[in-house]
C-alpha cells in the first residue's frame, strides 16, 4: 500500500455487515471499503440480483463487479431460524449493518433495529428503500427507472418532441449510494465521538430529489413551466467528423464564441444581447451555430473555442474516454484483474487508490463462507452442519 493511502485510511477498523443488494447499498459499502472499512457481503442462496444485471458471466456482472471490490462474501439463508442466528453472531462484531429490503422485512425476520442495538450497543443501521420506511408509498417497490419517472428526472431529460426519457445508466441508484455513503460516514463519526448509533432511513426518492435541487427550484420559480435552456447557447452540435458540446455561461463568452466562429456581428444583434434575450431566441442561436460547426472537424473546433475561452468539449464514447490523453495521464481508469472478466477498466475512486490499496476482486457468491464462519468462532462440525442443511453455502472460488 502506498504511503499516501496509508495516511488516508479513516475507517480502518470499521466493520460493515452489508446485506444490501443491487447497486445503491453495495456502492455505499464500497465507498467505505475504499476508505479502509472491512465489509462482509451477505447474500441469500439465490445471490444478489445485481449479479445477473447486464453482461453477466460466471456469477458476476458489471454491476456486481463495480460495487463489491474488496469485500468478503458469505451466503446465508435468512429464511431459516438458524440462518438468522448466524447473522446475529456477525452483528456482535459489526459497527454498521446495511440493508435494502422492503420496509418491515428486517423486523419480520427478527433483526430489526431494536434487536440489532441489543446485540451490539451503538450499532448503525442503514436502510435503503425506494420510497422510505414510512408514509403512503413506503411499501411500494422502487427501482432506478421507477424513481427517475417519479422524481421528474425523466421529464427533465425529455427528448425534443417532449417525450420523457430515462437517463441511460442507473443514475438514481448511484446517487443514492453516494448520499448513503456520506450519511454512513457522518454516522461513523458520531458513533466514535458519542458511542451512539442510529437508524438511517435512506431512500431513492429522497436521494433523487436532493440531487435535482437546482432544476426543481428553477421549475418552482417559473411556475412549473420548464425552461429547457438555463444558458444559451448550450447544446450538442455536429461537426464534420463528430459531435461537440458548447456552453456559454456569460455574455463575454458568447462574444468570444461569435468571434471564434467568424460571426462577430452576432454579438451586436439585439436578439442575442444577453442570456435572457438568447433564451427567447434559443432555437435561432442554435440553428445558426449548427450550420457553422459543420464546416470544421471536431478537433479544430475544440482547439479554436478553447483558445477563445469558450467552454467546449467532445462527446466521447466510453472507449474514447479511456483513450483521452488527460484520462491516460492521470491514470483515472487503470486496468485491474478479475477472474470472471479478465482485465477490466476500473475508474479510480476519488480520494482513494484501488490499485495501491491492493484490494481483492469482487467476490463470488459465498466465496468466503467457511472462512468467515471460522473467524466468527464456529467449529468445523457446526460449519459442516450449516452446509449440509444449506443454512449457509460455500460456493466455488471466483474465477
Contact between 46 and 390 under an 8 Å Cβ cutoff? The reply is: no
Inform me whether the pLDDT recorded for 395 exceeds 90. no
> What are the pLDDT digits (tens) for 337-378?
888 899 999 898 887 765 555 678 899 999 999 999 999 999
Q: Specify the long-range contacts of residues 55-61, CB closer than 8 Å, at least 24 apart.
A: 57/340, 57/341, 58/339, 58/340, 58/364, 58/398, 58/399, 59/340, 59/364, 59/365, 59/395, 59/398, 60/338, 60/340, 60/341, 60/362, 60/364, 60/398
Percentage of residues of the chain with pLDDT beyond 70? 95
Inform me whether the pLDDT recorded for 303 exceeds 90. yes
In this prediction, residues 156-176 reach a mean pLDDT of 92
Whether the link from the prior residue into 233 is cis, omega within 30° of 0, is yes
> What are the pLDDT digits (tens) for 206-261?
999 999 999 999 889 888 777 667 899 999 999 999 999 999 999 999 999 999 99
In this prediction, residues 282-293 reach a mean pLDDT of 96
Task: For domain 234-317, give the fold.
Answer: formyl-coa transferase, domain 3 (3.30.1540)
> What are the pLDDT digits (tens) for 4-33?
444 468 899 999 999 999 999 999 999 999
3-214+332-393: what CATH class? alpha beta
Inform me whether the pLDDT recorded for 68 exceeds 90. yes
Higher pLDDT, 359 or 183: 183
Inform me whether the pLDDT recorded for 399 exceeds 60. no
Domain spans in the chain, listed from the N-terminal domain onward: 3-214+332-393, 234-317
pLDDT at res. 223: 86
Helical packing angle, 24-34 and 171-194, nearest 10°? 50
Amino acid at each position: 500500500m502506498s504511503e499516501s493511502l496509508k495516511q488516508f485510511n479513516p475507517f480502518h477498523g470499521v466493520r460493515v455487515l452489508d446485506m444490501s443488494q443491487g447497486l445503491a447499498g453495495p456502492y455505499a459499502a464500497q465507498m467505505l471499503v475504499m476508505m479502509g472499512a472491512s465489509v462482509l457481503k451477505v447474500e441469500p442462496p439465490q445471490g444478489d440480483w445485481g449479479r445477473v444485471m447486464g453482461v453477466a458471466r460466471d456469477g458476476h456482472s458489471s454491476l456486481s463487479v463495480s460495487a463489491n471490490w474488496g469485500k468478503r462474501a458469505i451466503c446465508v439463508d435468512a429464511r431459516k431460524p438458524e440462518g438468522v442466528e448466524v447473522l446475529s453472531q456477525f452483528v456482535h462484531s459489526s459497527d454498521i449493518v446495511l440493508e435494502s429490503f422492503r420496509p418491515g422485512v428486517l423486523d419480520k425476520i427478527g433483526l430489526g433495529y431494536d434487536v440489532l442495538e441489543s446485540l451490539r450497543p451503538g450499532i448503525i443501521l442503514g436502510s435503503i428503500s425506494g420510497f422510505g420506511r414510512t408514509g403512503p408509498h413506503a411499501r411500494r417497490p422502487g427501482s432506478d427507472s421507477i424513481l427517475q419517472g417519479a422524481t421528474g428526472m425523466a421529464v427533465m431529460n425529455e427528448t425534443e418532441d417532449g417525450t420523457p426519457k430515462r437517463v441511460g445508466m442507473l443514475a438514481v441508484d448511484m446517487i443514492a449510494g453516494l448520499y448513503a455513503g456520506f450519511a454512513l460516514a457522518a454516522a461513523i463519526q458520531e458513533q466514535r465521538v458519542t458511542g451512539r448509533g442510529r437508524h438511517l432511513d435512506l431512500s431513492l426518492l429522497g436521494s433523487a430529489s436532493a440531487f435535482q435541487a437546482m432544476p426543481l427550484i428553477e421549475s418552482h420559480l417559473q411556475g412549473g413551466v420548464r425552461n429547457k435552456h438555463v444558458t444559451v447557447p448550450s447544446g450538442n452540435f455536429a461537426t464534420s467528423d463528430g459531435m461537440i458540446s458548447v456552453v456559454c455561461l456569460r455574455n463575454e463568452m458568447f462574444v468570444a464564441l461569435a468571434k471564434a466562429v467568424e460571426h462577430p456581428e452576432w454579438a451586436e444583434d439585439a436578439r442575442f444581447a444577453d442570456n435572457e434575450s438568447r433564451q427567447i431566441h434559443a432555437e435561432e442561436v442554435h440553428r445558426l451555430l449548427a450550420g457553422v460547426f459543420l464546416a470544421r472537424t471536431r478537433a479544430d473546433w475544440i482547439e479554436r473555442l478553447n483558445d477563445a475561452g469558450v467552454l467546449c468539449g467532445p462527446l466521447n464514447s466510453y472507449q474514447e474516454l479511456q483513450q483521452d490523453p488527460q484520462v491516460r495521464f492521470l491514470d483515472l481508469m487503470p486496468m485491474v484483474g478479475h477472474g470472471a472478466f479478465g482485465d477490466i477498466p476500473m475508474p479510480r475512486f476519488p480520494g482513494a487508490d484501488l490499485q495501491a490499496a491492493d484490494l481483492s476482486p469482487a467476490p463470488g457468491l459465498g466465496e468466503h463462507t467457511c472462512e468467515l464462519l471460522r473467524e466468527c468462532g464456529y467449529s468445523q462440525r457446526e460449519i459442516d452442519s450449516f452446509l449440509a442443511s444449506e443454512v449457509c453455502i460455500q460456493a466455488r472460488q471466483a474465477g
